[in-house]
Amino acid sequence: MKLKSFLSILLVAAFLSSCVDDKSKKQEEPAIAEPTEFNYNVEQFADIKILRYQIPGWDNLSLKQQKLVYYLTQAGLSGRDIMWDQNYRHNLKIRKALENVYTNYDGDKSSKDWSTFETYLKRVWFSNGIHHHYSNDKLKPEFSSDYLSQLLAATNTTLEGDAFDVIFNDADSKKVNQAKGVDNVALSAVNFYGPDVTNADVESFYKAKVSPNPDKPLSFGLNSQLVKENGALKERVYKSGGLYGSAIDEVVKWLELAKGVAENEAQENALGLLIDYYKTGDLQTWDDYNVAWTGATEGDIDYINSFIEVYNDPLGYRGSYETIVQINDFDMSQKMAVLSENAQWFEDNSPLMDEHKKKNVVGITYKVVSVAGEAGDASPSTPIGVNLPNANWIRKAVGSKSVSLGNITNAYNNASSSGRLKEFVHDKEELELEEKYGQLADKLHTALHEVIGHASGQLNPGVGETKETLKNYASTLEEGRADLVGLYYLYNSKLQELGLVEDWKSIGKAAYDGYIRNGLMTQLIRLNLGDDVEEAHMRNRQWVSAWAYEKGKADNVIEKVTRDGKTYFNINDYDKLHDLFGQLLRETQRIKSEGDYAAVEALVEGYGVKVDQAIHTEVLERNKQFPSAPYSGFVNPVLIPETNDAGEITAVKVTQPETFSGQMLDYSKHYNFLPEVN
């Protein structure tokens, strides 16, 4: 599971391919910016702000470690196009045509039409396709089909048929459709399923799948596309020689090099199993890899790589390609390790029903890391925290790894301003709490969410995996449950007892203020007026906040205040809000443990989907004064290997890309390993 950032602007309140056989050829360097003082901001367009991040401690790594990081980042980027094709079947064809126009057009580039074309392409790059990275709505170009046809003709570029028409028509309007009462699979454009596959097809196909060991259920569907051939359902498995095989072979090539410079035997064995999994597509090997990877906790370098998170599947089976390469932040990891060391205390003292508590919380490791490179579903829009593996039985039997992406959070904080915060806080006291305690509160919430939240609780005997029992509500229920664990313990003296804070009540108040403010108001700037909430994390923040607001009305726990025509939400009783969060945590764990579909449907549909239109209209109007975009993402640092006359790497240099478009074009040139149609 991964924790996406809230509004990046509010995080101020928070915590190429060269041939392996020809090593003398260096990767081409894109234009590099070398400011004397690090510039986190790259550019802004539409609703997007592009940032940079640094890699602290890079020079402290040994050459062998630098090579390991380099090989792992190359492996990740080599599979980049997989994410594009997974997101939508026409994405690669559309991207390559638009990029050809962008690089070869020599006509008038001062016109409004060209400016809107350039913005559209940048939005497509940011979203890894033609659907918005967060709302899942199809991106709407502000230029005409006639203008695009002129650009295509002027650059001798071919884009025709459905791939051209879909840019402008209403087909495939939603990448992931989570609406109630519809065929979510049939109405989702995501390329995990054939165009004629339905909800019923998916459910019946996987109902017939039986794991060899029912206590260790395999992640059926995680690494495949489900299609119909001659009326029969069939999986197209992602593997060498299978679907996406040409890109996977490049990933494997770099993973083999990484395995050769592994820091220790456990890390080497895990990489070997990941390679075997990519070669075979065998889900038992995937589980074996996750067990080995979870246990490989020594060393300075770690990584996430494969088909992992299932948010983009409306039914929660199929994993999106994702990679993050990480370097341990020893100082912060040591400070925060106290959470994992006390995980059993948190479990024992939670408000869960006794039968839903784990009697022996095992194997949780927590680290603050510095990202060295990301690709696929983690880039350009990145999580700020990750907890893996996702399989419930591995979490229970072996444990999990939790990380907070420290340099990403740092970049958000350094690139943001406080203007929007001041507009939406209720009073001076709330602002002062946020400014003094907000960053630490958000760091701790991320840690508690990932380390304690996702690792807590257990399913009742005989209850199936949540993707089977809770279906399209599984992801938002799990993220909300983990958020509630964090919220419950953020307002607890245990944090001060453990030495993590100096004033636990102020930390908790700042956290509660920020969560309610965001869940009921500020996150709405990400939605168009009239839209329902569909993204899993946005839904969970709204249903948690709206449930607490409604259940606390009798005691005026959270007060809706109108002043000078503006709405605010003010918390009057933090103790009672803490109790309400505990009650909701208990209920969400019950829903998960028992697989209660009716209850999760009522919770999410009742509190997390529909938006108060008057509030939404007001929020959008109040937000117009702020030029900063509501979404942020990143370009990656560029790792350039330096070689001697024998072609051996002697150093790896870290540089920064100057422009977003430069990096995107560089990636398309050097990591283009898939055909347009797969």
Q: pTM to 2 decimals?
A: 0.83
- Residues 602, 21 contacting (CB under 8 angstroms): no
Q: From CA 267, how far away is CA 269, in angstroms rounded? A: 5
Quote the CA–CA distance of 511 and 466 in Å, as a whole number. 29
Instruction: Judge whether 206 lies within some domain.
Output: no
In a domain, 580, yes or no: yes
- Residues contacting 265, CB < 8 A, separation 6+: none
638 forms bridges with which residues in the sheet?
655
Q: Report the pLDDT value the prediction gives residue 668, as an integer from 0 to 100.
A: 98
Say if 217 falls within a structural domain: no
**pLDDT attached to residue 25:** 31
CA angle 59, 407, 637 (to 5 degrees): 60
How many whole angstroms separate alpha carbon 143 and alpha carbon 17? 34
Please identify every stretch of the chain with a pLDDT value under 50, giving residue numbers as ranges.
Answer: 5-36
Cα–Cα dist 469/455, whole Å = 19
Looking only at the bridges linking them, the beta strands covering 321-328 and 301-307 are antiparallel
Long-range contacts of 612-619 (CB under 8 A, 24+ apart): 613/529, 613/530, 615/520, 615/521, 615/524, 615/567, 616/524, 616/527, 616/529, 617/529, 618/566, 618/567, 619/521, 619/522, 619/524, 619/525
Q: 601 near 338, Cβ under 8 Å?
A: no
CA 28 to chain centre: 29
Say if 257 falls within a structural domain. Answer: yes
Write the CB contacts of 182 (distance below 8 Å, at least 6 apart in sequence): none
Tell me, yes or no, whether 578 lies in a domain.
yes
Helix/strand number for the chain, H first, E second:
25, 15
The C-alpha atoms of residue 487 and residue 481 are separated, in whole angstroms, by: 10
CATH number at residue 284: 3.30.540.30
Angstrom distance (rounded) from CA 159 to CA 174: 21
The pLDDT value given to residue 324: 98
363 belongs to a structural domain: yes
Q: What is the DSSP letter of 532?
A: P
Domain count, the chain: 1
> Please, which residues have CB within 8 angstroms of residue 209's CB and are 6 or more apart in sequence?
218, 220
Is the CB of residue 199 less than 8 Å from the CB of residue 95? no
Say if 442 falls within a structural domain.
Answer: yes
**How far apart are alpha carbons 577 and 143 in whole angstroms?**
49
> For residue 415, what are the CA distances in angstroms to 188, 197, 372, 441, 489?
35, 44, 19, 19, 29
Other CB atoms within 10 A of residue 40 CB: 19
Question: Residue 555 and residue 573: Cα distance in Å, rounded?
Answer: 9
- Do β-strands 638-643 and 649-655 pair in parallel, antiparallel, or remain unpaired? antiparallel
Predicted local confidence at residue 3, as pLDDT: 64
Residue 402, domain extent: 2-15+243-631
User: Which pLDDT tens digit goes with each residue over 325-368?
Assistant: 999 988 878 877 899 899 999 999 999 999 999 999 887 888 88
The pLDDT assigned to 385 comes to 87
Residue whose pair of structure tokens reads 């797969």 in the numeric block: 678
Supply the pLDDT for residue 336.
79
Does residue 225 lie within any of the structural domains? no
Token duo for residue 52: 């940079």
